Structure 1
Amino acid sequence: MKLPDGNSISPQPPNRPAISVDTGRPDPLRQLQSLQLENRQAVVARVAELLSERGLQQAVLEVRGQKLTVSLPADGPELKAGDLLRIMREGQSLTLLDKLPPTAETRLGQALIRHLPWQQHLDSGLSQLLNALSAGFRAPPGPTSQPGATQPLPTTVREALHSIARLLPQASPETGGLTFRPLQTPASAQGSSSPLAGLASAAKPGLDVDGVRQWLANSGVLTEARLARGTLEAAPTDLKLALGRLALTLLQHQNLGADQFTRFTPLPSNELVTAPLQFPAPTTMPLGNPEGGREPASPGQMLRLLAGMLNRITVNQLHSQLLTTRSGPEGAPQVNTLVTDLPWMAPGGEVKTAQLRIDYDKREREEKPPGARRAGVAEWRLNLAMDLDEAGKVYFDVALRQKALSARVWAERQDTARQVNQALGDLRSRLTDLGLEVSELECRRGQPPTAATRLEHRLLDTRA
């Protein structure tokens, strides 16, 4: 390849799949000098953009923070935006040494892009699945079946659905507080009109620290990490595994093998197609399958819902890993990030979700020179978005730096914002009693300021 000024391509060194860049003219020479490369010094360049001008294939390379436009030969390596190249200065030209394999970030980004268009909201998806506990399956069309006819769930499918319900905290009809409550045997709920009918009456009063930890562990975003550590039991203990178990059970009911699951096109949610990575973006999703209301779903529709929800969990996992993988100036991750959806069951069987993001910034502690006094402290940041029945949409932004805490709350409804402001004094006192120094504590009307997350050659994320 060469700089696009009509310069000739210099001869190729032997046994090197390289193409030189001739810099004989003033402008290209000035570009080369601006890179501040010594003779025979190698550097990594990134393909920022591919161009086509007057029949010539060109590329814009990012080298040391500067952009350089080069012409590509017909017999050169196949390139695409985002590829990394190793180039070397040889006299007054640049030589392409080789094309580097994709980085972990590139591989994560590509996997994320594959799943983005096929995400299903967990709240509406789980509500439709659990509706089958009372509604059963939609009967397959046939000469003897009537429109809208249903058939009871097989025992194995009902048990798999109850396993999913056990993972969801339950909202108390009296207080609205969340608790993990065990379900009775699946047989006791048969014939009931609500998937909550099998809930046992005994429950802990409220969701304590251990309950929150269990809720996060059950979300499915940590499935592979826990499998790698060998900490999962034989039975499904989180949402991703439980959804997979239900998919396998439905396939067996249809006399299909596990490999047939991929032929079911996922049912996506429109909001997750138009804004696949936006945070926060709590929405109240309509219940029921796309064909209307809370009508019973067929086994095929349930499998499509499951595929979409599993994609949603996978997107959260890939997004978390991608944000954590991004390196700082020293090559270490800047921030460890976790993004996930936390579902819970409201009274009446409707499932809702909270969007959660946790960032752990430990650069101050780790960037200190060896042996130096580590005066810096790590910072935790939590963003939470929820859509509540009576309070409406609320957003939380909490930062903890050693013992210093700051928190902001946004509420879309005026009466909710007023109630929160009235409770801030009591909250400040409780936080102070815990030994925390509350530097900022306020509630605002509206939504937190955010910019739309875009997909370009790499994933760009905006903080909540």
Structure 2
Amino acid sequence: MTGEMNILPMPQTPPATARPQVISGELLKLLTPVDGLIAAGQSARAEVLSLKQADQSFELLLKVTLDSGRQTTVQATSAQPFPQGTSLAVVQPSAGNLAITVQQAIASSVAALTRIDTAQLPVGTLLQGKVLTAQALPQAPGQPTVYRSLVTLLNTALRGSTLTLDSPQPLRIGTLLSALVQDTQTLKFLPLSSRQEQLAVSQQLASQQSRQGSLDGLLKLLQNLPPATDQTSADLRAAVDKLLAGLPDAQQLSTPRGLAQALANSGAFLEAKLLTGQNPTLAPDLKGDLLKLIAQLTPGLPSSTSFNAIIAANTLAQALPNFVRNALGTLGQVSAKPVPGGFPLPERLLQSLEGEGDLEQLLRLAAAAVSRLQSHQLSSLEQTGLTDDGRLLSTWQLEIPMRNLQDIVPLQVKFQREEAPEKEPPDERRDNERERKQPLWRVDLAFDLEPLGPLQVQAQLTGGSLSSHLWAKRPYTAELIESHLHALRQRLLDAGLNVGDLDCHLGTPPQGTQTRLEHRWVDETA
């Protein structure tokens, strides 16, 4: 659940000529009547020590200080909430009631924050709080219901302060919440579960990477699988043929339509297709086809083997939970970002176990391939959220097995999109405002294509300007690419792009916190 919460504006200050009045009716009702607590015609100061909501009323613990200096605590109920720390002037019209003056009732609302000082808490700051109260406000005809809550802050320099919030959705009393500062009067609510999900993603990613294996071993074994026999049934052979037939070649990936289709069928979006009601059997899907392959392999295993239980525990039961797919479209997760799982995923081949049959080996490789695809999915989630400067970052990391003549080359791809927040601070001026509002795209590629050897590409595009770095492990390949960079630059210019840095390096991109191409190293004048 996400949405915006509005901080109530500062109440109007009554005119200086206004005379204090006693609100008619029983404003505060004492749970235990106390006769003569406050003498007739006298008033006392009361401080709210605690606040608790009970159905439609609010229970208060008050510390009452009399004019004589004597103090006592009383419990009372109120029709409206008063935040902890509120100071009131009260009188006692009867033994079971206290009343508050109009001026004091108005002033009491000042105890709750009425605006956010963005100089103290800049836009994008994470606030955490605990919900004290929740009320549905009177609803005008045709207007949505608005819920008013008091929230006590648990972090930042405002810790202990109280916010009065209006929200389109009810906030459950006693729950913790997280919200981002949007402006002086608006917060963007983020469910606490997103922080728990971020931890779950990191834990799942660690376990998936320990089980994953490269796609090469499985695909080579499937290419050499014998025709249908007693051990390889016709259904298994059909599942293998469907999986291999769905793999794209280099020519298909060189066209926009073919590339889009290959990305959609990479297995990274299988859960999203299922959630939207799409039939995954209508189009090839790498992850879906792998799961069908596992389903065909499992019945063929010897009944005495324990491998069925191992696979069930390590693959089918490890299918991504729903929250992972839901979170793919959710931006603004603001928990501390863990170190990304790394790109590209390293090559990892599983060793054959002694005494293991062909089907057991095939099943192990298929299970490892599913874990590898899920590692990419989880890495995407791990790198989706907010950057340090408040920009929204979305990541899609995946792997596409590509046909290259008789070989199959796994192509690892990562897309990242950075975009400015929906709302910018109105009092901030930036010289590069236009550039900041332009979305920034990054593309990472990694593949091992003979005879060129391992290659990696990092590129970024914003506002029609493109820059790119290439890395080759083999000196011959690096020299070959360097000699063709001028032709590549000209083709990019002919396509209508402004081209900045375009170069090739020997080796691999540096790893660690500085591996990313820094923000806007694009040469706008190239």
* TM-score (ref. length: structure 2): 0.52
1:119 to 201, 204, 211: 211
Q: What SS is found at the alignment partner of 1:398? A: strand
Tell me, yes or no, if the aligned pair for 2:267 and 2:286 is still in contact at 8 Å. Answer: yes
Matched with 1:251 is 298
Q: Deviations over 1:63-118 (max 9, x none)?
A: 4299xxxxxxxxxxxxxxxxxxxx7469xxxxxx6666852242143144235334
Distance 1:367 1:255 in 2: 63
Q: How is 1:337-416 mapped onto 2 (pairs within 5 angstroms)? A: 337-349=395-407, 351-363=408-420, 367=424, 375=434, 376-416=437-477
Matched with 1:225 is 272
Tell me, yes or no, if the aligned pair for 1:282 and 1:386 is still in contact at 8 Å. Answer: no
Q: How is 1:62-461 mapped onto 2 (pairs within 5 angstroms)? A: 63-64=155-156, 88=160, 102-117=192-207, 118-131=210-223, 133-134=225-226, 152-170=231-249, 178-179=250-251, 207-235=254-282, 237-254=284-301, 262-263=311-312, 265=314, 277-281=341-345, 283=347, 289-291=351-353, 297-326=357-386, 334-349=392-407, 351-363=408-420, 367=424, 375=434, 376-451=437-512
* Deviation at residue 15 of structure 1 after TM alignment: 7.2
Distance 1:399 1:366 in 2: 24
Distance 2:211 2:233 in 1: 27
* Deviation at residue 380 of structure 1 after TM alignment: 0.9
Name the Cα RMSD after superposition. 4.3
Distance 1:296 1:280 in 2: 30
Q: What SS is found at the alignment partner of 1:440? A: strand
1:44 to 128, 148, 168: 128
Tell me, yes or no, if the aligned pair for 2:492 and 2:499 is still in contact at 8 Å. Answer: yes
Matched with 1:32 is none
Cα distance change on mapping 1:291 and 1:261 into 2, 3 Å: closer
Tell me, yes or no, if the aligned pair for 1:236 and 1:245 is still in contact at 8 Å. Answer: no
Larger Rg: 2
* Deviation at residue 404 of structure 1 after TM alignment: 0.9
Cα distance change on mapping 1:255 and 1:235 into 2, 3 Å: farther
Aligned-pair identity (%):
25
Q: What SS is found at the alignment partner of 1:277? A: coil
Tell me, yes or no, if the aligned pair for 2:274 and 2:280 is still in contact at 8 Å. Answer: no
Tell me, yes or no, if the aligned pair for 1:358 and 1:381 is still in contact at 8 Å. Answer: yes
* Deviation at residue 127 of structure 1 after TM alignment: 2.6
Distance 2:413 2:455 in 1: 12
* Deviation at residue 262 of structure 1 after TM alignment: 4.9
Q: Deviations over 1:434-457 (max 9, x none)?
A: 1111122111122112217xxxxx
* Deviation at residue 409 of structure 1 after TM alignment: 0.9
Matched with 2:137 is none
Q: Deviations over 1:194-221 (max 9, x none)?
A: xxxxxxxxxxxx7322111122112100
Cα distance change on mapping 1:111 and 1:438 into 2, 3 Å: closer
* TM-score (ref. length: structure 1): 0.58
Q: Deviations over 1:102-154 (max 9, x none)?
A: 522421431442353343234234335414523889xxxxxxxxxxxxx6511
AA in 2 matched with 1:165: L
Tell me, yes or no, if the aligned pair for 1:167 and 1:238 is still in contact at 8 Å. Answer: yes
**Structure 1: tracts of 5 or more residues without a match:** 1-11, 17-37, 47-61, 67-86, 91-96, 138-150, 171-177, 181-205, 267-274, 453-460
Cα distance change on mapping 1:223 and 1:427 into 2, 3 Å: same
Tell me, yes or no, if the aligned pair for 1:328 and 1:334 is still in contact at 8 Å. Answer: no
Tell me, yes or no, if the aligned pair for 2:205 and 2:379 is still in contact at 8 Å. Answer: no
**Structure 2: tracts of 5 or more residues without a match:** 1-48, 54-83, 87-111, 114-126, 131-153, 163-173, 178-190, 316-338, 518-526
Cα distance change on mapping 1:329 and 1:277 into 2, 3 Å: closer
Tell me, yes or no, if the aligned pair for 2:417 and 2:440 is still in contact at 8 Å. Answer: yes
Q: Deviations over 1:205-245 (max 9, x none)?
A: x7322111122112100112223334445345210110111
Q: What SS is found at the alignment partner of 2:226? A: helix
Q: What SS is found at the alignment partner of 1:44? A: strand
* Deviation at residue 310 of structure 1 after TM alignment: 1.6
Q: Deviations over 1:263-297 (max 9, x none)?
A: 3546xxxxxxxx992213554x55x74348xx995
* Deviation at residue 326 of structure 1 after TM alignment: 4.5
Distance 1:229 1:291 in 2: 40
Distance 1:425 1:114 in 2: 44
User: Which range is displaced more, 120-129 or 407-416?
Assistant: 120-129
Matched with 1:174 is none
Distance 2:397 2:416 in 1: 9
